[in-house]
Amino acid sequence: MKIATAVLLVLMSATPLLSQWQSVGDVNSVTHVPGGIELRTSGATVRVTALSPSVVRVRYAKGDSLPKRDSFAVVENTGFTAPSTNPKESADAIEFSTGKLIVRVEKASARVVFLSPDNKVMLQDHPNYPVVWNGSEFRVYKSMPADEHYFGLGDKAGPLDHRDSAFTMWNMDAFGWQQGTDPVYKSIPFFIGMRGGAAYGVFLDNTWRSSFDFGKQSRDYLSFGSDGGDLDYYFFYGPDPKQVISDYTALTGRMPLPPLFALGFQQSRYSYYPESRVRRIASELRKRKIPADVIYLDIHYLDRFTPFTLNKEYFPDFAKMVGDLAQQNLKVVTIVDLHLANRKGYRPFEEGAAGDHFLKDPDGSTYVAPVWPGPSVFPDFTREATRRWFGTLYRELVGMGVRGIWNDMNEPAIFETPTKTMPLDTVHRVDVSGGGERKTSHREIHNVVGHENVHATYDGLLKLQPDSRPFVLTRAAFAGSQRYAATWTGDNQATWSHYGMTLPTLLSLGLSGYTFVGNDVGGFDGSPTADLLTRWMQVGAFTPLFRNHTAFGTRDQEPWVHGPEHEAIRRRFIEARYRLLPYIYTLFEESSRTGTPVMRPLFLEFPKEQDVATIGTQFMFGPGLLVAPKLTEMLDPYPIVLPKGDWYDYWTGLRVEHPASPARTPGGGTRLTAEPSLGEMPVFVRAGAIIPHQPLVQSTEETPNGPLELRVYPGSNCNGTVYADDGKSFEYRKGQFFRQRFTCDLTPKSIQVDMSAPTGSFVPWWKQVALTIYGTQGAPKEVKLGTRLLSDWKYDPASKSLSVTVPVSREKMELTVGY
């Protein structure tokens, strides 16, 4: 016993000595390269180059050259233009400016420092901890200011601010995850640092198992590193956090504009079968007038849970069923896992084997492991030929009218093994740009299996229906997967605590470049109480992907299951979402161009306000709406903070009264106390927002009947936009879209709303625009459109709003309300 302890102690103390941590070394020589510099130290090469004035890439390699490398995350066309830098060497540093930021590399330890134009340090290598290697491992240490906050990293299940926490990037089938579980389903090695209103970003372009530590190990430094692969990271200089996300998504790609139906309400469960049950769900939705667009089919539609088959007993005429649901304006999305049955006579297996498309064990035999279909084989998705082949397998589903594909289990998940995934030495083949392929192990590819799986699906669907925007949903993801698929946060639970994690997880994904995100509304594992499902439906209506889903064997979880009172509330919130669709679609379109997420933490809109710097219990839905849900089961009232400025209550249209000083925040914001009844969820509108709405429809397939409803909330910087197109095709890329911007101007004697001339050639569904202007102080003296006096306006004293309807026009119009 004594001896064993002694041996253990020796071993423990010997570990750091045994390890071969080797530091990067001092700079010996400098050469200029396009956009920056390349340095040689005693043992390494370091290259620091600006890709654009606000994006700098930093690469390290042992030895005296950098290997050629392909990235899974970085897109070919970033749109960046490298600035010409003019590096200056002094006795102890080399420095250059990109035009927007200054990069300095100190010769001692090749210490990299990023500075703002006014020479303030944004991010710097730690003075005492140089970049180090240990065999294939590496680690980078950065100084960590006491007042800096950290965000992003994908779907991590903790508070919004990652300070004082550490995380591992290793895609994991994390069924039963809890607050703090790590790793989880996705690996997005990108974070945003925020300090005093200024943001920067760091993306470690490395697919191996990596880790990030924001002061858990030491309060002195943050660090990141990986088990293997290249030390290759990007620095994004904000200082506006939206700029950081814009640059990060320029580098790794943005969400393509989704089909409109995908923004509707989606009903799912594991699983709806047989056909009669699917039809019943569809007719209940329609009969009860619960707007909806999608019904999901989970693994029971398959024969023996085998992808690309059909269970003929449950679904004797699948195509007919899909067609009939389409008649009810409901789309079908089917689950398609990436594992294929290792089964003779099963076409995908036979084809895949003949085409040599499957992953292999190190001895060259096909890797076989148990998942849903039983013994299974796995397509080698990092090969383009394999992706192309896999994409063709969707032909029959698409032919039968299936409108979206749900790729699950793509971490990849494997049954009956403690690691829940493949052996690390499983062999993957990877295309090499310029031709040929290389072999590598699962250690490198694990985190991009899901990414390349949805890459195959997205491309495959596009090839099968070139005029139709694909809808793909994925569970696993890597940096850049946003360009192929929407994602959800996996198997949550029907508990208040999981419901509460809706905000931090989805907001973190948004900050990580992932706009189209949602969670299983109501919870997957277990059955929610009536109140919990009602609350979750309310929040879900304001999340980008709005999908009710639950596990096998749980109780029914559709909106109507808890009686008419709950059903009425849930319906009201789904309806609210459908009325808001013009706004939501406009936000999605914007996000597809800029990367700005639809669901945003407050600091993204109000970066300078310290009051809201780390708030993860409220969020902005676009720039105009602030959602502040009740997040716990507790009966107590809860606090809400409204950033400085004026706000309106979204539901009543009334201005929020400025409270007396105790209720002001240090930054001049407003503190409220909320105690919403079960039927209510507080939503506020930023004064200055103009928010387009539409008449209620039961599905996005229906044309709204009536005018576009433009709700104007006067305030400073008053503006809004509406975007529309056919919602389905790519014609918008050829100019078939409609975009109109609105502004408003408030003077003591008038309110003026300017409607700019729309751009694009698409003709939207509305013939009239119904304006409602809130916050007005009484009936106006006159209302004019241009110079023409209008008489049929209406003033509503209860909501202090003025309503007037005007015809659409391709010309610019001005509405003037005079007092």
Mind telling me the catalytic residues? Answer: 408, 411, 491
Using CB under 6 A as the binding rule, whether residue 270 contacts ligand MIG is answered as yes
Interaction of residue 477 with ligand MIG, rule CB under 6 A: no
Binding of ligand MIG at residue 408 (CB under 6 A)? Answer: yes
Instruction: Compute the least distance from the CB of residue 145 to ligand MIG, in Å.
Output: 39
The CA-based diameter of the chain, rounded to the nearest angstrom, is 98
Choose between 76 and 416: whose C-beta lies nearer to ligand MIG: 416
Residue closer to ligand MIG, measured from CB, 294 or 672: 294
For residues 482 and 454, is the Cβ–Cβ distance under 8 A?
no
Site for ligand MIG in 503-532 (CB under 6 A): 524
Q: Confirm if 349 and 366 have CB atoms less than 8 A apart.
A: no
How many residues make contact with ligand MIG (CB under 6 A)? 11
Residue 298 lies near ligand MIG (rule: CB under 6 A)? yes
Tokens 């994006």: give the residue. 55
Closest approach of ligand MIG to the CB of residue 297, in Å: 10
Residues 6+ apart with CB under 8 A from 358: 340, 352, 366, 367, 377, 378, 379, 380
Cβ neighbours for 624, distance < 8 A, ≥ 6 positions apart = 583, 685, 686, 689, 690, 691, 713, 720
Q: Are 641 and 669 in contact (CB under 8 A)?
A: yes
CA distances from 105 to 72, 96, 114, 137, 141 (A): 28, 9, 9, 23, 15
Q: How far is the CB of 520 from ligand MIG (least distance, A)?
A: 7
Q: Which is nearer to ligand MIG, 393 or 641 (CB)?
A: 393
How far apart are the C-alpha atoms of 374 and 470, rounded to whole Å? 29
The answer to whether 600 and 643 have CB atoms below 8 angstroms apart is no
CB of 552 to ligand MIG, least distance (A): 7
CB of 335 to ligand MIG, least distance (A): 5
Output the smallest distance, CB 545 to ligand MIG, in A: 13
Minimum distance between the CB of residue 175 and ligand MIG, rounded to whole angstroms? 7
Q: Which of 122, 299, 445, 724 binds ligand MIG (CB under 6 A)?
A: 299
Provide, rounded to whole angstroms, the least separation between the CB of residue 407 and ligand MIG.
11
Residue 490 found at the interface with ligand MIG (CB under 6 A):
yes
- 72: phi then psi, degrees, rounded to nearest 5: -80, -25
Closest approach of Cβ 454 to ligand MIG, in Å? 15
Distance CA 663, CA 640 (A): 10
Q: Which one among 247, 491, 525, 725 touches ligand MIG, defined by CB under 6 A?
A: 491
Nearer to ligand MIG, 299 or 640 (CB): 299
Dist CA 177 CA 416 (whole Å):
18
**Residue closest to ligand MIG (Cβ):** 270
Q: Considering the complex, what minimum distance in angstroms separates the CB of residue 558 from ligand MIG?
A: 15
Show Cβ contacts of residue 604 under 8 Å, excluding neighbours closer than 6 positions: 241, 242, 245, 511, 596, 597, 620
Measured in degrees and rounded to the nearest 5, phi and psi for residue 576 equal -60, -40
Give yes or no for residue 273 binding ligand MIG (CB under 6 A).
Answer: no
| 192/369 with CB nearer ligand MIG | 369
Taking alpha carbons only, the member of 81, 84, 80, 46 closest to residue 63 is: 46
Distances (CA, A) of 580 to 59, 285, 621, 694: 45, 20, 11, 7
DSSP-derived secondary structure for 691-754: EEE----SSTTSPP-S-EEEEE---TTEEEEEEE--SSSSGGGGT--EEEEEEEEEETTEEEEE
Show contacts with ligand MIG in window 529-588 (CB under 6 A): 549
Chain mean position to CA 719: 25
As a whole number of angstroms, the distance between CA 774 and CA 650 comes to 10
**What's the min distance (Å) between Cβ of 453 and ligand MIG?**
14
**CB closer to ligand MIG, 556 vs 565:** 556
Q: Which of 475, 571, 600, 711 binds ligand MIG (CB under 6 A)?
A: 475
Nearer to ligand MIG among residue 415 and residue 765 (C-beta): 415
3-state class percentages of the chain: helix first, strand second, coil last, to nearest 5? 20, 30, 45
Least Å distance, CB 197 to ligand MIG, is 38
Q: For the CB of residue 549, give the shortest distance to ligand MIG in the complex, in Å.
A: 6
* Of 115, 335, 545, 722, the one binding ligand MIG by CB under 6 A: 335
SS3 for 689? strand
- Of 474 and 617, nearer to ligand MIG (C-beta) is 474
| CB nearer ligand MIG, residue 366 or residue 554 | 554
Q: Does 74 bind ligand MIG (CB under 6 A)?
A: no
CB 167 within 8 A of CB 153: yes
Q: Residue 518 and residue 547: Cα distance in Å, rounded?
A: 7
Distance CA(477)–CA(458), nearest Å, equals: 14
Residue type for position 351? E
Phi, psi of 802 (to 5 degrees): -115, 130
Q: Could you say whether residue 393 binds ligand MIG (CB under 6 A)?
A: no
Residues facing 174 on adjacent strands: none
Q: For 139, left (φ over 0), alpha (ψ -120 to 50), or beta?
A: beta
Q: Are 177 and 190 in contact (CB under 8 A)?
A: no
Question: Which of 414, 751 has the CB closer to ligand MIG?
Answer: 414
Smaller CB distance to ligand MIG: residue 491 or 567? 491
Under the criterion CB under 6 A, does residue 724 sit at the interface with ligand MIG?
Answer: no
- Helices and strands of the chain, counted as H and E runs: 15, 53
Phi/psi at 499 (5° precision): -55, -45
Interface with ligand MIG in residues 121-140 (CB under 6 A) = none
If the CB atoms of residues 335 and 744 are measured against ligand MIG, the closer one turns out to be 335
Q: Which residues contact residue 712 at a Cβ distance below 8 angstroms, ignoring those fewer than 6 apart?
A: 690, 718, 720, 742, 744, 751, 753, 771, 772, 773, 774
Angle, CA of 384, 386 and 388, to the nearest 5°: 70
DSSP strand pairing (132-134 vs 22-23):
antiparallel
Signed CA dihedral, 287, 290, 294, 298: sign only: negative
Side chain identity, residue 755 = M
Question: Applying CB under 6 A, which residues contact ligand MIG?
Answer: 270, 298-299, 335, 408-409, 475, 490-491, 524, 549
